[in-house]
Structure 1
Amino acid sequence: MSRPVTATLDLSALRNNLQIARQAAPNSRVWSVVKANAYGHGIDRVWSALGGTDGFALLNVEEAILLRERGWKGPILMLEGFFHAGDLELFDKYRLTTSLHSNWQVKALANARLNAPLDIYLKVNSGMNRLGFTPERVHSIWQQLRAIPNVGQLTLMAHFADAEQPEGIVEPLARIEQAAEGLDCARSLSNSAATMWHPEAHFDWVRPGIILYGASPSGQWCDIANSGLRPVMTLRSEIIGIQNLKAGDAVGYGSRYRASGEQRIGIVACGYADGYPRHAPTGTPVHVDGVMTSTIGAISMDMIAVDLTPCPHAGIGSPVELWGNEVKIDDVASAAGTVGYELMCALAPRVPVVTV
């Protein structure tokens, strides 16, 4: 029999979460962000559950081609645009909307031989200083693009660095307004946090990502606990070993944990080689045999030790949820000093994935 660790994807939760995003921005169209292989969930597994979206947004052209080959005929937005001038042949063939954030891309687009114009998302640097044109340059670039036959519909695009904060979009939005002055343009600005919490930034298209998969853009589950969003991924395993400790007995590599008295612990078939965070400390929540308890000691490559004091009836084969409906991925990530995004994307290829 195979090792018991599995990841289950609830496709009904994906559909639910897309609907929650629509309700949050009822007057906007939705780009469902499926970059990083749908945040580790697998585009091929989940895209059909998001088929009610208005468009998909991602990074890799291979994933865009996969969507086309699976039958998606709607818009696909390439969030970082094309990386080489030669990529435009594929963008043309598969009718991909591209972002533009650099001078060389503008020139490459002007010189390309295309069968039909491509829709363009012109990216504004809202102060995050990753990609995009500064606000004072946007107007001239916009006019330059308007004169290029290869350019179809133009949309202004930006991103927010601090949208999970109540005042986090005030300054960036002012920069975007400066860039858009005098332009009659559609806009796509809102990530997950802005979609949920900043309706003044919704405009024409919103771009929810992490909320589609049922985690919080702030990294704190409490911030979305009453939103109706549901976790999509559940990581499960079983107890494969039991140890009965005496006072002073150590657990795991580095002997980071020592029992203060008699203690019964379980060994779970899951570890950092499966995608569980290696730096999760003693006390990270875990659900064992229907009861909430916690990890103890260092996380091993293939195993995790858990405290069975709250669940004395647990034994070999007892079910364990590492994250999912009972243990929120945000809470595991927070304990480990990271974010739920990373845990989703870090799910290892060796973990079997089941969709329901």
Structure 2
Amino acid sequence: MRPLVAHIDLDALRHNYQLACQCAPQSRSAAVIKADGYGHGALACARALAGETPAFAVACLEEAVVLREGGITTPIILLEGIFSADELALVDHHQLWMAVHSAWQVEALLAFSPREPIPVWVKVDSGMHRLGFAPENVSAVWQQLREAPQATSLHLMSHFATADATDSRYFQQQMALLQMLATTLNAPLCLANSPATLAWPVAHGAWNRPGIMLYGSNPLESATPVTDQLRPVMTLRSEIIALRDVEAGEPVGYGGRWQAPRRSRIAVVAGGYGDGYDRHAQDGTPVLVNGQRCPLVGKVSMDMFTVDVSEVPDASIGSEVVLWGRAANGAVLSVDEVASSCDTISYTLLTGVLPRVPRRYHGAFV
């Protein structure tokens, strides 16, 4: 069997969720498991968290149905609501909660007759300028839904554009607008994503919705004592499948981007962009070989990449290579650091691990 495997630590997932709850003890925290649990497997993650979280959050109906068909009975909120009016029948059937961000969604809901009123979260465009009602229209929408028999448990929600940044001016502008609306409408709030959960207690509302932090990634621009407590959930682990020595000046990989500055020992690792490992990884991108940091050298290929293991004398065929996560000796390579070397973010790396990479689940809830 090809040695590249994504190992998923469900105990670490539960630890990170509990940390999110500790950050905001007066809030309820909906675990965000959209995009197949950020690449970790939504159903397995939901089963591990079902006894912990009062609700899950997903992007769309298809993701919610997978959970329901897998036996998850916990409330599920559709963060983008419905995409067509005929989806309301399944929202009703599966007893889902839904966000509304556009007038047509409200009109569709008011023309529908659910078996029971549907919990609705009204999304406000407080400055992200993506989804949501303009602030000046929110009161009318809120009043319309409050009087509608189709809707219940109204909440006001929004999304922060800069909660992860050290410059707080735009965050504070969004927050002031939302506080004003909440006071005017006497509305419970759901605002805090992972960075706001970690760094902005003022944003903690009736509900928070931690996402990437659940999987062990730090969404802030720098580490804090709290983010240092996050545990990596995914370890993307492979092995050395070939070794060779190259002389000084010899190129390695497509285009000869990297040339050996000295006589070097080069390891070939099973894993490439055909598995979701980023082709934009630069020379020097770290991996762990037998728990020791080594630099990637040369361009990533579809099925393999190369690493300079000149400083790892015990490197051999079958030696462990950790692309990110925790090595057998306990050393940790953050997915955030790898993402930085690829000029991207951890979200893209984690959600980009492709289906041909098997997931193996570990922990008490396997």
TM over 0.5: yes
Deviations 1:7-54 (A, max 9, x none): 100000001001000000001001100010110111122211111111
The alpha-carbon deviation at position 353 of structure 1 amounts to 1.0
Matches within 5 A, 1:187-336: 187-218=189-220, 222-223=223-224, 227-325=228-326, 326-336=332-342
Contact 2:122 2:156 in 1 (8 A): yes
User: 1:223 offset after TM fit, Å?
Assistant: 4.5
Count of aligned pairs between the two proteins: 354
Alpha-carbon displacement from aligned partner over 1:96-141 (angstroms, at most 9, x marks no partner): 1110100101111110121111010000101010000111111111
Deviation, structure 1 residue 275: 1.0
Q: Find the aligned partners of 1:84 and 1:349 in 2 and give their Cα distance.
A: 29
**Cα distance in 1 between the residues matched to 2:206 and 2:277:** 38
| Cα distance in 1, alignment partners of residues 242 and 255 from structure 2 | 20
Can you list the C-alpha shifts for 1:28-86, whole angstroms capped at 9, x where unaligned?
00110001011011112221111111100001212212222333322211000001000
SS in 2 for 1:152: strand
**Correspondences of 1:61-80 after superposition (within 5 Å):** 61-80=61-80
The yes-or-no answer on 1:10 pairing with 2:12 is: no
Instruction: Name the aligned partner's letter for residue 335 of structure 1.
Output: S
> What is residue 41 of structure 2 aligned with on the other side?
42
Does the 8 Å CA contact 2:60/2:79 hold for their aligned counterparts? no
Query: Aligned with 1:106: secondary structure?
Result: helix
CA distance in 2, matches of 1:248, 1:148: 74
In the alignment, the residues of structure 2 paired with residue 355 and residue 275 of structure 1 have an alpha-carbon distance, to the nearest angstrom, of: 19
Distance of aligned partners of 1:219 and 1:182 in 2 relative to their CA distance in 1, 3 Å threshold: closer
TM-score by length of 2: 0.94
CA contact 1:292–1:310 (8 Å) conserved in 2: no
- Which amino acid counterpart does residue 25 of structure 1 have in structure 2? A
Cross-structure match for 2:98: 98
Amino acid at match of 1:137: N
RMSD of aligned residue pairs (Cα, Å): 1.3
SS of alignment partner, residue 182 of structure 1: helix
Residue number in structure 2 paired with 1:158? 158
Aligned to 1:340: 346
Q: What is the TM-score with the length of structure 1 in the denominator?
A: 0.97
**How far does the alpha carbon of each residue in 1:123-174 deviate from its partner, in whole angstroms, 9 at most, with x for none?**
0101010000111111111111122210111100011010012415201111
What whole-Å deviation, never above 9, does each CA across 1:265-312 have from its counterpart, x for those lacking one? Answer: 101011111111100000001000121111001111111110112202
Partner Cα separation in structure 2 for residue 289 and residue 181 of structure 1? 56
Q: Is the contact made by 1:8 and 1:355 (CA closer than 8 Å) also made in structure 2?
A: yes
Instruction: Report the equivalent of 2:107.
Output: 107
Structure 2: tracts of 5 or more residues without a match: 327-331
| Residues 1:29 and 2:31 aligned together | no
Letter in 2 for 1:328: S
Partner-residue secondary structure (3-state), 1:330: helix
Instruction: Answer whether contact 1:135 1:178 (CA < 8 A) is retained.
Output: no
Residue type of the alignment partner of 1:121: W
Q: Hey, what's the Cα distance between the residues in 2 that align with 1:183 and 1:27?
A: 21
Q: Which runs of 4+ in 1 moved over 3 A?
A: 222-227
1:136, 1:179 within 8 Å by CA — same for their partners in 2? no
Distance change in 2, residues 1:223/1:309 (3 Å): farther
Quote the residue 2:185 is aligned against: 183
- Cα displacement (A) at 1:224: 6.5
Residue aligned with 2:349, SS: helix
Query: Contact between 2:284 and 2:296, CA under 8 Å: does it hold in 1?
Result: yes
Q: Say if 2:26 and 2:206, in contact at 8 Å, map to a contact too.
A: yes
Contact 1:216 1:224 in 2 (8 A): no
Work out the CA distance in 2 between the residues paired with 1:305 and 1:225: 35
* Structure-1 residue corresponding to 2:361: 355
2:185 aligned counterpart, secondary structure = coil
Query: Residue in 2 aligned with 1:137?
Result: 137
CA contact (8 A) 2:198 2:226 kept: no
* CA distance in structure 1 between the aligned counterparts of 2:194 and 2:183, rounded to whole angstroms: 25
Given residue 306 of structure 1, which amino acid in structure 2 is its aligned partner?
V
For 1:285-342, what per-residue CA distance to the aligned partner results, in whole angstroms no more than 9, with x for missing partners? Answer: 1000121111001111111110112202201111100000221110110000000000
> For the residues of structure 2 that align with 1:53 and 1:106, how far apart are their CA atoms?
28
CA separation in 2, counterparts of 1:225 and 1:302? 37
Quote the offset at 1:226 in angstroms.
5.0
Q: Secondary structure at the match of 2:229?
A: coil
Paired residue for 2:116?
Answer: 116
The one-letter code sitting in structure 2 at the alignment partner of 1:180 is A
2:171 matched to which residue of 1? 169
